[in-house]
Structure 1
Amino acid sequence: MSRIEFGNPGLLHLVGGTPLAWIPADDGRTGFHAKIESAGIGGMKARAAMALLTGAAARGELVPGATVVESTSGTMGIGLALAARALGHPVILVVDDELERDMRALFTALGVRLDVVENQHPEGGWQQARLDRLADILAATPGAYWPDQYNNPDNASGYAGMAREIIEQIDRVDVLVATVGSGGHCAGLTRVLRRQWPGLRVIGVDSVGSRIFGQPARQRHMRGLGSSILPRNVRYPDYDEVHWVGPAEAVASCRAVAARTTLAGGWSTGAAALVAGWAARREPGARVLTVFPDGPHRYLRTIYDDEWCTTRGLLTPGVTRPVEIAHPDGVEVDGWARCRVVRDPAGARVPV
């Protein structure tokens, strides 16, 4: 038997328990709190991966030793590699041709099999192309289990522990700024935190070129933020407003936060910090909280590489406030924008 068949459940006890840090805003007078998920094993999505697999096992959907197959742009894959190894399951990750070289090397070191999609779907981009390939793999792999991170409610339940940690670490939160990809971490945090603080306001942070809140899908530089499909784990009524952030703004924010604090991170961290800093400046007395999902190592050849950024026109001066739009589908945004009407593109508009 290979070592992976035995598993190592003790690894699961290492997930979570991350610190909460004070992040000074760029005005030097205000700031916000951030949950530093890079300090936890497997990053933020290890929490979701653990919930997805243990929940499926408890229901009998994931049988001992079965192969776990999932689509990922990278970060969920790290979490699944950890959770699956702990529980004794091999993993196949469906990734795309834009997955960074360093991430491919890491997955190889972790003993994960990669299936690489080389062409985007004409409408659903890389995500739909990966999902199409995933369906083929499931059909050819008897007993395989697909966690379906985009639509499985276990994703959100995995963040209840993070919410409880936050409640123990801070006496009040007025504003939660949450980046949105699969929708899991915002749904999970909001569910618990609003029971503790009923007046909590939630600001969603999406990517320019993402479909999630009603904008048209476009090719995106940023990975792990936004979506070309509509994940049903996104709970639209939870949000009080939504912001879209572009890659140049995220790069500027990442680098600025790193310079001020040495807490560097990726696209989601930069976008979250940009909007959280704005919220803190706009309402100085409010306690603003966000989550920094991962650290900088995956992004050293992109966000923190001058040549890569210059080639793509991403080293531009950072903006200090978003453009306001009346409705999410009223105009296509190409940079930081804000809307106080939250719309589910698959259903009715939800006034806020």
Structure 2
Amino acid sequence: MRPFTEYPPRLGGEPGENAVAALHPADPSHRTAVSAGAYPAPLPDASPLDAIGNTPLVWVPALSAPDRGYWAKLEGFNPGGIKDRPALHMVRSARRRGELLPGAEIVESTSGTLGLGLALAAKAYGHPLTLVGDPGMEPLMRGLLTAYGAAVDIVPDPHPAGGWQQARRDRVAELLARPAGRHADSSRPDVPGAWCPDQYNNPDNVAAYAALAAELIGALPWIDALVCSVGTGGHSSGISRVLRQSFPGMRLAGVDTVGSTIFGQPARPRLMRGLGSSIFPRNVDYGAFDEVHWVDAGEAVWSCRDLAARRHIAGGWSVGAVALVADWLARTLPADRTIVAVFPDGPWRYWNTVYDDAYCRRHGLLDRRPAADPEQIGRPAQKEVLAWTRCENVIDPRPAPRAAEGGDQ
């Protein structure tokens, strides 16, 4: 195993271009300069809201080519994870436009991470919060959301076609249809009607990631490739849109899970949470992607554990899947390319899944080392993928909207 002291050479350039500390822990004299504009000196935070953003960016050497590697943006250092950013931005934007009135309830579907961000934003601005989950939500997550003041509503059964995701969305629609004032705080009948952020389709979800993109622009002199997991489409669309204004030739690699319908694969039961979907979120910008990779749950588990063992960096399903793809790009792209991978969360909610041998053994996920290279297919509908697979022909699989009767064709 290579020691922590083997980091990439220090970034060149004038002051302000060395915006990331490529720190050699064993030798403090090898620190590069840090741009005050990109990473200001730590100051006391007035509230947890101030702890959102400016997350670490660290170098990860490639597994079988340690002279190569990629930069990992560790979004698990936000209070709840990457979705703290859109949660806060969607709430602030809706309040600014008058869509979310003072004291009104917030109702949303979540597998957990957005719920953490919404709990923080709801508490900061005085809104009751109801979150709709499904039985796959970890007891730890359910208990934590409740402790943060959210009412957690669990749907009992999946939708016959749209799975758990559609079942949750249907329940949200039911809750929104209640008369004004009938919300989690039933003692206040004067409170206005509820509001749903609709993370899958809300453009504010996409816009929220401009700050993350700005942090990357301030930290690195150039970016050739960006690797993002895809669930709602928010951070892949939002970050790439801003980065391409500074790095117009940048490649975008999307990472999905086996069994997700987002990129045109058939739906099947999925263990991985936080990426993938059984619906077609409108926030997914299909034209932005240069390639898509599907990763299986066992491959993501192996990648998570390898990353933890080699680099002391840990996260959930999405982190493992993204790390697998980023490592492959670092090995196969020209050596001078700069690759950034976005790691959406940390490990704490996955102690009884990704990092639990009994759970992984029960689901056949242990020791599933991925192939050295993904299988390649020419188009998403070519075959149903069951393991790590790559496709450079990214299409929008959503059905074309019907023209209005009697209207223009």
| 1:119 to partner: Cα distance | 0.7
Please tell me whether the aligned partners of residues 128 and 229 of structure 1 are also in contact (alpha carbons under 8 angstroms): yes
Aligned length: 341
Paired residue type of 1:22: W
Aligned pair partner of 1:72 in 86, 89, 110: 110
Aligned pair partner of 1:124 in 139, 147, 162: 162
| 1:43 to partner: Cα distance | 1.2
Ranges in structure 2 where 5+ consecutive residues have no aligned partner: 1-44, 181-192, 401-409
Instruction: Tell whether 2:345 aligns with 1:308.
Output: no
1:205 alignment partner, SS class: strand
Q: Residues 89-134 of structure 1, C-alpha deviation per residue, up to 9 Å, x if partnerless? A: 1110000011111111111211110000111111111100001111
2:253 alignment partner, SS class: strand
Aligned pair partner of 1:260 in 300, 310, 328: 310
Paired residue type of 2:329: A
**1:179 equivalent in structure 2:** 229
Q: Which has the higher contact order (CA 8 A, sep 6+)?
A: 1
In structure 1, how many angstroms separate the alpha carbons of the residues matched to 2:80 and 2:388? 30
User: What is the TM-score normalised by the length of structure 1?
Assistant: 0.95
Instruction: Tell whether 2:343 aligns with 1:292.
Output: yes
Aligned pair partner of 1:59 in 97, 103, 108: 97
Instruction: Tell whether 2:131 aligns with 1:93.
Output: yes
**1:4 equivalent in structure 2:** none
In structure 2, how many angstroms separate the alpha carbons of the residues matched to 1:40 and 1:94? 22
Aligned pair partner of 1:102 in 121, 133, 140: 140
Instruction: Tell whether 2:100 aligns with 1:48.
Output: no
**2:384 equivalent in structure 1:** 332
Paired residue type of 1:345: P
Ranges in structure 1 where 5+ consecutive residues have no aligned partner: 1-7
**2:373 equivalent in structure 1:** 321
| 1:10 to partner: Cα distance | 4.1
Instruction: Tell whether 2:230 aligns with 1:230.
Output: no
Instruction: Tell whether 2:324 aligns with 1:274.
Output: yes
In structure 1, how many angstroms separate the alpha carbons of the residues matched to 2:59 and 2:46? 33
**1:15 equivalent in structure 2:** 52
Please tell me whether the aligned partners of residues 69 and 331 of structure 2 are also in contact (alpha carbons under 8 angstroms): yes
| 1:42 to partner: Cα distance | 2.3
| 1:273 to partner: Cα distance | 0.2
1:291 alignment partner, SS class: strand
User: What is the TM-score normalised by the length of structure 2?
Assistant: 0.82
In structure 2, how many angstroms separate the alpha carbons of the residues matched to 1:77 and 1:129? 17
In structure 1, how many angstroms separate the alpha carbons of the residues matched to 2:46 and 2:266? 43
Paired residue type of 1:337: T
Which protein shows a greater Rg?
A: 2
2:58 alignment partner, SS class: strand
| 1:317 to partner: Cα distance | 2.5
Higher helix share: 1
In the TM superposition, structure 1's runs of 4+ consecutive aligned residues that sit over 3 Å from their partners are 8-11
| 1:85 to partner: Cα distance | 1.1
Aligned pair partner of 1:26 in 36, 59, 63: 63
Please tell me whether the aligned partners of residues 174 and 286 of structure 1 are also in contact (alpha carbons under 8 angstroms): yes
Q: Residues 285-344 of structure 1, C-alpha deviation per residue, up to 9 Å, x if partnerless? A: 211101111110100100001111011111122322110011101100001000010011
Please tell me whether the aligned partners of residues 370 and 388 of structure 2 are also in contact (alpha carbons under 8 angstroms): no
Q: Residues 118-159 of structure 1, C-alpha deviation per residue, up to 9 Å, x if partnerless? A: 111111111000011111111115210000000000001110
**2:121 equivalent in structure 1:** 83
